[in-house]
Structure 1
C-alpha cells in the first residue's frame, strides 16, 4: 500500500512540474497547445508507470486498473487512459 501512495505521489509531482519551453530545429517555439499536449502525455506516462508498479507489487489487475482510471481522470478519452493493449 505504501508503494501505491509513493507512485501516486510521483504521478502528482509529474503533473505539477512545469513544462520547459521546447523549440524545433528551426528555432521556432512550440505553441501553447503543444505544450499542454506534452504535459498530458507526461501525466499519462506517469499514471501508466504507477499502474505497472502496482501490478509488479502483486495487487490484482482490477485494483491497478481502478488506480489507473483515477489517476487519468480528465487526461484521456476512455477508461484505458489513452492506451489499449491485448491481454
Structure 2
C-alpha cells in the first residue's frame, strides 16, 4: 500500500513538472524579463551607493520595473 501511495505521489509531481515547462519562446521571454529586473535592481543599488534618499531610489526602481514584475518591489522584497 505504501508503494502505491509513493508511486501516485511521484507521478503527480512528474505530471505537474511536465505541465510547468515553457516553450522556447516563453523561456526566452522569461530570461529577458529577469535580465531587465536585474538591471533595474543594479540601478537601484547604484542609486543607493550615491547616498540618495531611499525613497528616490525606490521610485526609480518602480519606474524601471513597471510591467516587468508583480508588486512594488520589482519581484523582490526584503526586510529593513
Moved over 2 A (4+): none
**Which consecutive residues of structure 2, in runs of 5 or more, have no partner in the other structure?**
1-22
Q: Which structure is higher in RCO with an 8 Å CA cutoff and minimum separation 6? A: 1
- Could you say which residue in structure 2 is the equivalent of 1:47? 40
Q: TM-score, normalised by structure 2?
A: 0.71
Task: Report the Cα offset of residue 46 of structure 1.
Answer: 0.2
**Which consecutive residues of structure 1, in runs of 5 or more, have no partner in the other structure?**
1-29
**Max radius of gyration: which structure?**
2
Corresponding position: 1:75 with 2:74: no
Q: TM-score, normalised by structure 1?
A: 0.65
1:38 counterpart (26, 31, 39): 31
